[in-house]
Each structure stands twice: as structure tokens, then as C-alpha cells.
């Protein structure tokens, strides 16, 4: 079964701390997505990775294809980073695999001032 596991499920941090959220998956993928869901419910795509590392502001996403593992890092965390962070993968399959995402359960991040 194609699975996506995220850890931790809940994460509490103090403002300014460096944060890491991990995502592991079971079989080969064509792409991995990191998504952010704020308390209001909307989902925003942060990164799409197929190899290496991407950076946007204080957010860094890395992926190790051999280890089947990805991490999302937040540097100098801020209370506005409080949200649910979701890992999603496109498993490698024939034909119409594009766009079909399998999601992790999400990591609830709370950053206190």
C-alpha cells in the first residue's frame, strides 16, 4: 500500500526557534508537495519537489529520494507560522498518475510568542 507518514503530529515552539517537520513515503514517487493549512481552512501549496532542495523566505524543503524522506524546515519561527503542514506525494504510476496526491495526516504547528 502506498503510504505517507508525517512526524511529529503536533509541534509546539517558541518564537524564533528552528522547526523541522518530517515526511516519509513507502515507494517511488514522481513529486512531493508541502502544503500549509491555516486555521481558516484554506490550503496553500508551499513547495513541489522531485529532488534536492528548495527555499522560499524562511521555509526550506529538502528531499532524499534514496531514503524516501523529505523535511520542511522553518527558520526563525513566528506565531503567524502556526498552521497545519501537510505532506503529499504523487506516487510513480502509469499514465494518469499526474495530480493524484496521497496525503500525510498533517503536523499541527503552534508557535508561541
Read off the C-alpha cell for 91: 506516487
Q: How far is CA 66 from CA 27, 50, 92, in A?
A: 10, 12, 14
Are the CB atoms for 36 and 43 separated by under 8 Å? yes
Cα distance between residue 113 and residue 24, in whole Å? 30
Regarding 76 and contact with another protein (CB under 8 A), the answer is: no
Q: Could you tell me the smallest distance in angstroms from the CB atom of residue 42 to another protein?
A: 5
Binding mask 22-61 for another protein (x = CB under 8 A): --------xx-x-x-----xxxxx--x-x-----------
Question: Site for another protein (CB under 8 A): how many residues?
Answer: 26
The correct pick among 15, 55, 76, 103 for binding another protein (CB under 8 A) is 103
Regarding 88 and contact with another protein (CB under 8 A), the answer is: yes
Nearest to 60 by CA among 68, 103, 14, 52: 52
Read off the C-alpha cell for 16: 524564533
Query: Which residues bind to another protein, rule: CB under 8 A?
Result: 4, 30-31, 33, 35, 41-45, 48, 50, 86, 88, 90, 96-106
Amino acid at each position: 500500500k502506498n503510504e505517507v507518514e508525517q512526524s511529529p503530529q503536533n509541534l509546539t515552539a517558541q518564537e524564533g526557534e528552528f522547526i523541522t517537520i518530517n515526511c516519509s513515503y513507502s515507494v517511488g514517487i514522481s513529486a512531493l508537495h508541502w502544503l500549509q493549512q491555516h486555521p481558516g481552512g484554506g490550503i496553500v501549496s508551499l513547495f513541489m519537489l522531485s529532488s534536492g532542495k528548495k527555499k522560499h523566505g524562511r521555509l526550506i524543503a529538502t528531499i532524499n529520494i534514496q531514503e524516501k524522506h523529505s523535511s520542511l524546515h522553518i527558520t526563525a519561527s513566528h506565531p503567524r507560522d502556526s498552521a497545519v503542514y501537510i505532506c503529499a506525494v504523487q506516487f510513480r504510476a502509469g499514465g494518469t498518475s499526474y495530480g493524484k496526491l496521497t496525503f500525510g495526516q498533517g503536523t499541527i504547528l503552534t508557535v508561541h510568542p
